[in-house]
């Protein structure tokens, strides 16, 4: 009997060992549990523009469906109030200041495809980590993180150099210059100055020539010729860039290849949707990451005829409703492929709506609901509080609403964790893994403090006092609104971060967002017993935060974004071109 028992045990151990040998490597096992990840990011969408956040006139049934089937965040915060720095923080999980992607000047975003600034190659995006974990990674739509560093084809800032296997979309951003029928948007005031200077120089040259011909002015023809040559050179130097903004900046690329220069805006929406669905279909057999970075709802509000005139909010509302329809098409594609229960879907905006964006009586920017301020304002809630929705059936509880401070930077550690990756250990990661909060296994966000920058300037700080539930917010700097009390900087088009257009506060303006989310009534030592305690606590947090900052190259310096201002405003040697520069003209989508 003991012999038979020994044989049985030996046989059992042998089977166990044999079975273990037949198991695939652990990395393969983890792939089975890795969800697909679809990140949907709107451009310039206000939190008040979405139905599930309180809008009852713009119809967003598909975004609302995501919230109904998933988790809605009501205090989801962008790390910056403008496109380039906000998206840099989103991709890296770090305040843009840490990567040099926040500005020291008034050029606060990437300004040209031919600039040399951009997301540094030594930054590790979540796409790069997911790529290493075996994911197929794709970016469809807007990039706005730079293209080249030193030559036209080095692609050092390009999506394919930052972890994406596939890219189709705009390396830049959509602007009104991309639509020939719209009023130019890019650097509008500066362009008017350049044109005025050109006219003045031309007038001086013409007056000198007439004076020389009539004998009223004693001037050598050689001097007059030099003056005329300077006038022509000045005009050509700035007009070669600003006169062809649509040609240089409004282009479409597939991977490293320019496919439309300039882009054909009538079909952009359909191409982006087609590429997104195609990526899902061809990537369905392994885990995939799709970052669909919408061109909606940025001006010039490209909207197909099917949606024109459908909303109660003019062209802007039409554009938002079309984007919502695109969200529905992507969700339908996920369902069609049987991927709904294995796919985490996330929807957000890169920052708040643009209040100042108007043409005559037309409001072309978004609405930020009850929140004060908007796009470009680093401190006020309207510039940084955005929609944030997660859906993963069977994993995240449907119909959940979470009113805890969260950040767009949190997507980084969240998706890296889900993919089985490891966060970089050689740098500060400011984001926090959201899965425990989303699943309801913890009550509070890991964020105690969030720092709200405008460029490199710290404008405000948020403190989540978890034991009391208070959300304190101290404003050190606020923009000066014009006209006074208007809630935005309508005289400038954007609110500035520094200089005469801001007010410094000492002591800081203090609000409790849990009681006053609109930031309407600042507290004082007379009205709030904890005023001094809160200000001291936030001050110490700022000191600690600043000790974690290290100097890095400024990617948005004047040299990197415009190069020799007032003379040549873009770097021809870095310009993406589908032909032989400067003859860059193609339409490969139209087979021309």
φ, ψ of residue 399 in degrees (nearest 5): 70, 20
Which of helix, strand or coil describes residue 449? strand
**Count of beta carbons in the 10 Å neighbourhood of residue 130:** 25
Return the half-sphere exposure (C-beta side, CA atoms, 13 A cut-off) of residue 103. Answer: 28
Question: What does R_g of the chain's alpha carbons equal in angstroms?
Answer: 27
Residue 582 CA: distances (Å) to CA of 112, 303, 529: 16, 31, 66
Among this protein's residues, is 83 annotated catalytic?
yes
Give the chain's end-to-end CA distance (angstroms, integer). 85
Question: Which 3 state secondary structure label does DSSP give 559?
Answer: helix
154: three-class secondary structure by DSSP: coil
Per the structure block, which two tokens stand in for 155?
A: 């692609």
Residue pair 312/256 in contact by the 8 Å Cβ criterion: no
298, 321, 299, 297: which is closest to 308 by C-alpha? 321
The distance of Cα 305 from the centroid of its chain, to the nearest Å, equals 27
Tokens of 224: 């007059």
Give 361's contacts (C-beta < 8 A, 6+ positions apart): none
Nearest-angstrom CA–CA distance, 561 and 93:
23
Which residues does residue 451 pair with via DSSP β-bridges, in sequence order? 461
**391 SS3 class:** strand
Closest CA to 408 of 374, 373, 432, 424: 432
**Length of the chain, in residues:** 592
Q: 83, 149, 454, 489: which is the annotated catalytic residue?
A: 83
Catalytic residue among 144, 296, 459, 464: 144
| 139 touches 166 (CB < 8 A) | yes
H helix count then E strand count, the chain = 16, 18
Whether the Cβ atoms of residue 293 and residue 141 lie closer than 8 Å to each other: yes
The tokens describing 228, both together, are 């005329």
Neighbours of 81 (CB within 10 A): 31
Tokens of 112: 């040209």
Residue 148 burial (CB count, 10 A): 23
The phi and psi torsions of 21 (rounded to 5 degrees) equal -65, -30
Query: Active site includes 162?
Result: no
Contacts by residues 318-322 (CB-CB < 8 Å, ≥ 24 positions apart) = 320/45, 320/49, 320/50, 320/58, 320/60, 320/296, 320/366, 321/58, 321/59, 321/60, 322/269, 322/296
Instruction: Give the three-state DSSP class for 406.
Output: strand
Q: Which residues are catalytic?
A: 83, 144
């Amino acid at each position: 009997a003991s012999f038979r028992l020994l044989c049985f045990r030996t046989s059992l151990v042998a089977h166990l060992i044999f079975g273990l040998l037949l198991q695939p490597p652990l990395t393969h096992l983890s792939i089975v549990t890795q969800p697909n990840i679809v990140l949907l990011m709107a451009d310039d969408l206000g939190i008040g523009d979405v139905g599930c956040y309180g809008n009852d006139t713009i119809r967003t049934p598909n975004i609302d469906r995501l919230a109904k089937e998933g988790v809605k965040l009501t205090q989801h915060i962008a790390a910056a109030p403008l496109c380039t720095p906000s998206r840099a923080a989103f991709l890296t999980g770090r305040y843009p200041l840490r990567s040099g992607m926040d500005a020291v000047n008034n050029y606060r975003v990437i300004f040209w495809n031919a600039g040399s600034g951009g997301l540094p190659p030594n930054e590790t995006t979540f796409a790069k980590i997911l790529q290493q974990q075996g994911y197929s990674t794709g970016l469809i739509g807007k990039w706005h993180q730079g293209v080249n560093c030193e030559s036209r084809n080095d692609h050092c800032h390009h999506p394919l150099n930052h972890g994406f296997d596939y890219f189709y979309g705009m390396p830049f951003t959509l602007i009104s210059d991309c639509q020939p029928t719209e009023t130019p948007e890019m650097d509008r005031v500066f362009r008017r100055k350049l044109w005025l200077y050109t006219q003045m120089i031309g007038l001086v040259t013409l007056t000198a020539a007439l004076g020389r011909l009539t004998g009223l002015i004693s001037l050598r023809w050689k001097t007059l010729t030099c003056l005329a040559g300077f006038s022509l050179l000045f005009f050509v130097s700035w007009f070669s860039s600003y006169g062809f903004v649509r040609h240089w900046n409004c282009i479409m690329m597939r991977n490293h290849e320019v496919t439309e220069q300039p882009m054909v805006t009538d079909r952009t929406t359909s191409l982006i949707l087609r590429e997104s669905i195609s990526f899902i279909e061809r990537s369905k057999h392994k885990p995939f990451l799709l970052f669909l970075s919408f061109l909606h709802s940025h001006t010039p509000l490209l909207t197909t005829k099917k949606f024109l005139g459908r909303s109660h909010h003019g062209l802007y509302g039409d554009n938002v409703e079309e984007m919502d329809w695109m969200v529905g098409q992507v969700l339908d594609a996920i369902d069609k492929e049987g991927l709904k229960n294995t796919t985490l879907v996330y929807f957000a905006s890169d920052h708040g709506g643009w209040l100042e964006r108007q043409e005559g009586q037309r409001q072309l920017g978004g609405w930020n609901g009850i929140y004060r301020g908007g796009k470009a304002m680093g401190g006020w809630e309207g510039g940084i509080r955005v929609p944030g929705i997660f859906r993963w059936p069977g994993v995240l509880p449907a119909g959940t609403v979470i009113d805890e401070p969260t950040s767009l930077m949190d997507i980084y550690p969240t998706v890296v964790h889900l993919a089985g990756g490891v966060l970089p250990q050689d740098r500060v990661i400011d984001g926090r893994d959201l899965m425990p909060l989303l699943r309801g296994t913890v009550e509070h966000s890991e964020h105690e403090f969030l720092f709200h920058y405008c460029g490199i300037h710290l404008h405000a700080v948020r403190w989540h006092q978890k034991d009391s539930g208070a959300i304190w917010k101290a404003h050190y700097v606020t923009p000066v609104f014009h006209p006074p009390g208007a809630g935005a900087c309508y005289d400038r088009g954007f609110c500035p971060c520094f200089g005469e257009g801001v007010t410094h506060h000492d002591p800081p303006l203090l609000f409790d967002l849990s009681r006053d989310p609109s930031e309407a009534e600042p507290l004082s030592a007379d009205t709030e017993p904890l005023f001094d305690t809160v200000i001291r606590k936030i001050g110490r947090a700022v000191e600690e935060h600043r000790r974690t900052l290290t100097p890095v190259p400024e990617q948005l310096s004047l040299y990197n974004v415009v190069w020799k201002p007032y003379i040549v405003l873009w770097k021809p040697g870095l310009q993406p071109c589908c032909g032989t520069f400067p003859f860059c003209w193609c339409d490969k989508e139209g087979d021309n």
